[in-house]
Structure formats: structure tokens, C-alpha cells
Amino acid sequence: MRLLFLIILPIYACNSQKADNTDYKLYEAEAVGWTTRFPGTWKVMTEDEIAKLEGRGQAAMESTIDEKIVFNHINLLWLKKDQFNSFTSNSQPFDTIADGSYKENQELINRH
């Protein structure tokens, strides 16, 4: 009886795993050379939704430091699954004259 149980359990476990039948959508940001795919069930956020979220974040940061913050990033892909799950991506220009060496900046960031 135990032998039969030990044979049936792995077979059941293998058959009970769900196959990934998720439909994916493709996103490509040609300007920065980035391509990704995301679950088709996730919603691509509108410009108005993004502006609202960024505005709240900007207001919170500005009130904390009591200073105006200027954003210079480019929004790429903003996704929302539900109230607690989201994904955001953006691109920010890097000026080696103003910002210094990109490699040195990356090393500094990765040290912390």
C-alpha cells in the first residue's frame, strides 16, 4: 500500500501544477532600446492616471523637503494589476558634462 502511495503522489503533484496559459502583450520602447512583455490581464495606465499618481508623489516630496522638484524623466510603461500590484518604468537622460562619468555614478549607486 505504501509503495502505491509513493508512486501516485508524485504523479498527482506533477499533474496538479497549473500550466502557464497567460496571454502576454509586448511593449517596445524604441527610443531606449527596451522591449518587454507583460501579462495581458494587467491594465496599461493612461496619461491622466500617471499624472495623478506622479502629482501626489511630487507634492509629498516637495512638502517634505520644502523645495520645488523638477522631473525630467520620460515615462515608458505603467501597468496596474490591482490596488496592490503595479509596475512602472521610465527613462532619464544622463548628461556626462553635468553628471560626470556614468560608470562612476553606477559604481557609487551599487556600493550602497
Q: Which amino acid is at 61?
A: M
Report if residue 46 sits inside a domain: yes
Query: Domain containing 57: what range?
Result: 21-91
Report if residue 44 sits inside a domain: yes
**Measured distance CA(98)–CA(6) in Å, rounded:** 66
Report angle CA 5, 9, 13 to the nearest 5 degrees.
Answer: 175
Report if residue 5 sits inside a domain: no
**Type and span of the H or E element at 91:** strand 85-91
Is pTM beyond 0.85? Reply is no
Report if residue 64 sits inside a domain: yes
Number of domains in the chain: 1
Confidence of residue 103 (pLDDT cuts 50, 70, 90): very high
Report if residue 31 sits inside a domain: yes
Report if residue 58 sits inside a domain: yes
Report if residue 26 sits inside a domain: yes
Report angle CA 29, 57, 59 to the nearest 5 degrees.
Answer: 130
Report if residue 103 sits inside a domain: no
- At 80 the pLDDT is 96
Closest CA to 54 of 27, 41, 73, 36: 73
More confident residue, 20 or 27: 27
